[in-house]
């Protein structure tokens, strides 16, 4: 069973059209996530999709940047969780696997069991490019971020399940 296809041109046009109203009443930015590769779709979260946590960071005292995205309204959606250990005091700038020791990105299509995975302990590792333009803080800890994420993941299909023709999934997020 193949996932529904949304042309990248249509997703990009929708992203441009909705970015004009990118900040919500709470001050958090809307979040737009474009999936391309074996699964193609667009997810939009009206009140942000990023957070920071020290309690679940792999290294005590480090800040764990998290991005959560779910494509709702389709039977073949993907639930995605990205976790990047940005260290003790993350700052705006560019991050990649060369700068981040611990990271992972797991996407699951509940209707098929197809998994899209990447991370420092996963083979092949995949790749990401995180650009943090700004970080909002409260009580000395980051609470939200504005930026972009480009992610490349491997496709893992359960036995006798067709997850699509390729072995790579790409995710681009604007938050």
Domain ranges in the chain are 8-21+28-161+170-174
139 DSSP 8-state letter = T
pLDDT digits (tens, 9 = 90+) for 28-52: 679 999 999 988 899 888 878 999 9
pTM exceeds 0.85, yes or no: no
Q: Can you tell me the mean pLDDT for 59-82?
A: 84
Which residue is listed with tokens 């991005």?
67
Give φ, ψ of 76 to 5 degrees. Answer: -115, 40
Q: Assign 55 a pLDDT band (cuts: 50, 70, 90).
A: confident
């Amino acid at each position: 069973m193949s996932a529904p296809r949304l042309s990248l041109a249509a997703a990009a046009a929708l992203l441009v059209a909705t970015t004009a109203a990118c900040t919500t009443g709470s001050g958090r930015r809307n979040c737009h996530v474009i999936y391309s590769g074996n699964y193609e779709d667009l997810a939009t979260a009206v009140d942000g999709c990023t957070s920071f946590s020290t309690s679940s960071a792999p290294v005590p005292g480090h800040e764990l940047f998290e991005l959560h995205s779910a494509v709702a309204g389709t039977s073949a959606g993907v639930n995605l969780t990205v976790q990047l250990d940005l260290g003790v005091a993350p700052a705006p700038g560019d991050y990649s696997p060369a700068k981040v020791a611990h990271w992972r990105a797991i996407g699951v299509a509940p209707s098929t069991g197809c998994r899209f995975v990447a991370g420092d302990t996963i083979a092949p590792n995949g790749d990401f490019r995180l650009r943090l333009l700004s970080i909002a803080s409260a009580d000395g800890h980051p609470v939200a971020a504005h930026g972009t994420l480009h992610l490349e993941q491997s496709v893992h299909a359960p036995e006798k399940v067709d997850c699509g023709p390729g072995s790579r999934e790409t995710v681009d997020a604007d938050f």
